[in-house]
Chains A and B, each alone.
Chain A
Amino acid sequence: MSSRAIEVTVCPNGPFLIRGAEQVIDVEGVAHCTTRPVVAVCRCGKTGRPPWCDGTHKLL
């Protein structure tokens, strides 16, 4: 697992899917550890659980 390259997938009208990352740094510089092998990072800026996607983009 640790040798896997970090991979970012852009979902149209949705989040970034990120595989292989251990941390995501938010806009305020705070590091958030990933707790799953693939995480969804908010791209619309409206999530209630930053930096993670919570599906809010579907309401915009």
Chain B
Amino acid sequence: MRLPPPRGPISSSLFDYMHEGPKAASSLIVRICEPSNALDDADLQIALWSLYELHYRSFDDIDERWEWDPTLLAVRSKLEDVFERALHHAVTDEVAKQSPQIQANARPCERDLASRFFELVNEFDGPELAKRIQKDASAEQIREFLLQRSVYHLKEADPQTWSIPRLTGPAKSALVELQFDEYGDGVAGRTHAELFAITLREAGLDSTYGAYIDEVNASTLAVNNVMSLFGLHRRNRGAAMGHLAAFEATSSLPCRRYAAGLRRAGFSEAAAHYFDEHTEADAVHEQLAVRAICVGLIDEEPQLEADILFGALCCLVLDARQAAELIASWEFLDHHAATMQTQNAVDAQ
């Protein structure tokens, strides 16, 4: 993978620096002004994503030593400040719109965490993407969904692996047990990332790592960046595990609908297999993540409960924004297609 094209002034000066070296260093940080909404800002999100990617598979066209370059770490820190503030605002705003029960469950309290956590994720009100895909999304709309999801699923589970050395005791054992399953239980070719690559190829999409990074929405980049923000900072270990638990606890039922939608729209059994596997695997993983990892973590470090809930809410809020942006793009295209048909009919008369 090569560095993506810039999407604005932040990523433009950043990528110049990464290509050319330290001559522009001092100008990098001062160029970052706070966008009105960092979660929707493709320039900020692609810049942050590219800085995080240095710690995963990096880019073929830049020096691997940039991973620990002090200037780039300082730029990353500045972008993370902006991103974290935006996350706190978005979570506060979204919780205020939800039911009183959600609002109560979003705060630490005496009642057992597992029950409150499942209530929180089950009753959180968001766009019904899974139902749309099951019932009426076209093959092209499903391909767009797979394309957006590919950024995460081709590195599935990697951002959570950063958390293993930060945990101890039963929470650590449970996280390793969960990750082992994510990575295919030791069987080569069965990692969940590789299963998703099969789905992409069966759907006629490119399964190369990073193939669609130039095209994906800001909301998709934010979904990915939050996992790295939590995984790469020890101080965010509670949020990382809360995010993981919310992700797993909102996966099994939607994956069943995605699998049904792919079959309805004419995709192959091999394409749907990834979602069948996740219907089953994530019914296990949600129990491990909530009951063993998150509960295990607050047994060791009770002060992390608010962070666990914040991480979970970030997952719910960002996934909802990604789903809403995807559905809005379908509706825009539907509207555009309908307008074109009307115009063609008028022209034909």
Tell me the minimal C-beta distance from A2 to chain B in angstroms.
14
A17 is contacted by which of B180, B282, B287 (Cβ under 8 Å)? B287
In the complex, which of the residues B276, B280, B288 has the most CB atoms of chain A within 10 Å of its own CB atom?
A: B280
B177 and A38 form a contact (CB under 8 A): yes
Question: Contact at A36–B283, with CB atoms within 8 Å?
Answer: no
Q: Does A25 count as interface, using CB distance less than 8 angstroms?
A: no
Chain B residues with a Cβ closer than 8 Å to the other chain, count: 22
B181 within 8 A of A: yes
Q: Which 5 A-B pairs have the closest CB atoms?
A: A55-B252, A53-B283, A40-B284, A40-B283, A55-B253
Q: In the complex, what residue of chain B is closest to A59 when comparing beta carbons?
A: B253
A38 touches B284 (CB 8 A): yes
Q: Is the CB of B287 within 8 A of A40?
A: yes
* A-B residue pairs in contact (CB < 8 Å), sample of 9: A15-B287, A37-B177, A37-B185, A40-B280, A49-B276, A54-B252, A55-B256, A55-B286, A59-B253
* Most chain B CB inside 10 Å of its own CB: which residue of A14, A52, A55, A56: A55
The size class of the interface chain A forms with chain B is: 20 to 34
**Chain B residue nearest in CB terms to A47:** B283
Query: CB within 8 Å of A: which residues of B?
Result: 114-115, 118, 122, 177, 180-181, 185, 252-253, 256, 276, 279-284, 286-288, 291
Interface string of A22-60 (1 = CB under 8 A from B): 000000000000011111100000001100111110110
B interface majority secondary structure: helix
Alpha-carbon gap, A53 to B281, bound state (A): 9
Main secondary structure of the interface of A (DSSP, over half): loop
User: Which residue of chain A has its CB nearest to the CB of B181?
Assistant: A36
Whether B115 and A38, one on each chain, are in contact in the complex, defined by CB atoms closer than 8 angstroms, is: no
Contacts of B286 in A (CB 8 A): 55
Question: Of B181, B253, B287, which contacts A14 at CB under 8 A?
Answer: B287
Which of B118, B276, B287 has the most C-beta atoms of chain A within 10 angstroms of its own C-beta? B287
Which residues of chain B are near A36, meaning CB under 8 Å? 181, 185, 281, 284
On chain A, the residues within 8 Å of B115 by CB distance are: 12-13
Which residues of A lie under 8 Å from residue B291 when comparing CB positions? 11
Q: Which of A11, A14, A48 contacts B256 (CB 8 A)?
A: A48
Check if A12 sits within 8 Å of B284, measured CB to CB.
no
Tell me the minimal C-beta distance from A5 to chain B in angstroms. 16
What distance in Å separates the Cβ of B277 from its nearest Cβ neighbour in chain A? Answer: 9
Q: How far is the CB of B26 from chain A (nearest CB, A)?
A: 52
CA distance A5 to B284 in the complex (A): 19
CA distance A32 to B232 in the complex (A): 39
Point out the residues of chain B lying under 8 angstroms from A35, CB to CB: 185
Kindly list chain A residues whose C-beta atoms are within 8 Å of the C-beta of B256. Answer: 48, 54-55
CB B247 to nearest CB in A, in angstroms, measures 13
B280 touches A49 (CB 8 A): yes
Q: Are A58 and B281 in contact (CB under 8 A)?
A: no
A28 to B282, CA, bound (A): 25
Q: CB distance A11 to B280 under 8 Å?
A: no
